[in-house]
């Protein structure tokens, strides 16, 4: 449900930008004059409350509908050059996919607005659910019980996407928002695609990208399983797994090409890196990041079921099993930007 605001602007969080403001730091920003944060009182007929983040070519605002007082997140992309066309396409895709999803674990979209000049789309705005929550890199789990609950919620949301014929294609810590009750919201559907799509460009995030993404092969539900496994690994260990396209700084230079499958080293099991990680969860993660698609779990349903069974086991333990996190965690890797080239 969207926010309603009758004078006091709610605490705001930018949902999907690696350059976002930190969680809990937006109250002051939200109460600044709209002119100060955006140089305009209105955008597309909505009152601007605050500028809350920026993406590669997008700007995110909190806006309010004057009659209903409902508050939304508005993602705005403007075309400056022909190269910007793909960013317009991503926002339109995010609306197409999001409007088909009904799961509470996927951020809702409300409306797509287009502006045209000479019959060509020059800017788009996407009205979305405004979520008051940090992303998973900002709010890591404090116990095994929390970790398993969060991960199981992510798996069920992805299961819903797959059941509707779509793959998210860019699951990572900054694309998962964690609510107070440990439920989640998956965000940033701009790289989603139909099951079986072979993309013309490499899309994904180094350190989380599945081999089939790096080599422009068919994107399937197992691709999300790999991305999700890599995400769980980073959350628990504080390091990215070896992937076909590692982050640039992990190789002390620019990435010149994707590694072949036989060049990708196996990830060290999480429980070896972090002894507070349950061995069953460690096994789920290792299975999820197998290089070969057919070696991964058969479906996200299987992953979710295994996580929920583990959750029952962990919840029976006193204190929910405390969880420590690897000291090598790097925020720059957890918040790595998606690639599209």
| pLDDT values of the chain reduced to their tens digit, one per residue, 341 residues | 444 444 334 444 433 433 343 334 344 444 444 444 445 589 999 999 999 888 878 899 999 998 999 999 999 999 877 777 888 999 999 999 999 999 999 999 999 999 888 888 889 999 999 998 999 999 999 999 999 999 999 999 999 999 999 999 999 999 999 999 999 999 999 999 999 999 999 999 999 999 999 999 999 999 999 999 999 999 999 999 999 988 875 444 444 578 999 899 999 999 999 999 999 999 999 999 999 999 999 999 999 999 999 999 999 887 778 898 764 444 344 556 665 55
From the number of C-beta atoms within 10 Å of its C-beta (0-12, 13-18, 19+), residue 298 rates as exposed
Per domain, the residue ranges of the chain are 3-128, 144-340
Look up the pTM and report it: 0.85
Task: Choose which CATH entry (3.30.565.10, 1.10.510.10, 3.40.50.720, 1.10.3720.10) describes domain 144-340.
Answer: 1.10.510.10
Helices assigned H by DSSP within 126-178: 144-163
Tokens of residue 54, six digits = 């920026």
For 12, 217, 224, 246, 249, the CA distances from 254, given in Å and listed in that order, are 36, 23, 25, 10, 8
Tokens of residue 280, six digits = 């069953």
3-class DSSP state for residue 330? coil
**Fold observed for domain 3-128:** Phosphorylase Kinase; domain 1 (3.30.200)
CATH topology agreement for domains 3-128 and 144-340:
no
C-alpha 57: how far from its chain's center? 17
């Amino acid at each position: 449900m969207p926010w309603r605001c009758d004078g006091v602007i709610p605490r705001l969080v930018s949902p999907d930008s690696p350059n976002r403001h930190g969680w809990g730091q937006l109250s002051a920003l939200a109460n600044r004059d709209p002119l100060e944060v955006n140089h305009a009182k209105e955008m597309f007929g909505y009152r601007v409350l605050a500028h809350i983040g920026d993406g590669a070519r997008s700007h995110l605002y909190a806006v309010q509908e004057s009659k209903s007082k409902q508050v939304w997140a508005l993602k705005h992309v403007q075309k400056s050059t022909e190269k910007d066309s793909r960013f317009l396409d991503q926002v339109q895709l995010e609306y197409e996919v999001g409007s088909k999803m009904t799961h509470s674990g996927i951020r809702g979209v409300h409306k797509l607005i287009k502006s045209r000049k000479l019959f060509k789309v020059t800017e788009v705005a996407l009205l979305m659910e405004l979520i008051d929550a940090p992303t998973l890199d900002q709010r890591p789990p404090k116990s095994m019980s929390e970790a398993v609950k969060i991960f199981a919620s992510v798996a069920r949301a992805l299961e819903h996407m797959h059941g509707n014929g779509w793959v998210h294609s860019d699951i990572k810590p900054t694309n998962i928002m964690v609510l107070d009750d440990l439920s989640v919201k998956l965000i940033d559907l701009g790289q989603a695609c139909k099951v079986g799509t072979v993309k013309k460009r490499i899309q994904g995030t180094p350190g989380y990208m599945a081999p089939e993404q790096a080599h422009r092969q068919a994107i399937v539900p197992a691709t999300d399983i790999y991305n999700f496994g890599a995400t769980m690994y980073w959350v628990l260990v504080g390091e990215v797994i070896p992937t076909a396209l590692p982050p640039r700084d992990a190789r002390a230079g620019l990435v010149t090409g994707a590694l072949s499958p036989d060049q990708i080293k196996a990830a060290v099991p999480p429980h070896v890196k972090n002894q507070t990680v349950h061995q069953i969860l460690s096994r789920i993660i290792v299975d999820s990041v197998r290089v070969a698609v057919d070696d991964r779990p058969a479906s996200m349903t299987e992953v979710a079921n295994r996580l929920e069974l583990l959750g029952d086991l962990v919840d029976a333990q006193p204190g929910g099993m405390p969880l420590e996190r690897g000291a090598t965690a790097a925020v720059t890797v957890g918040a790595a930007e998606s690639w599209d080239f």
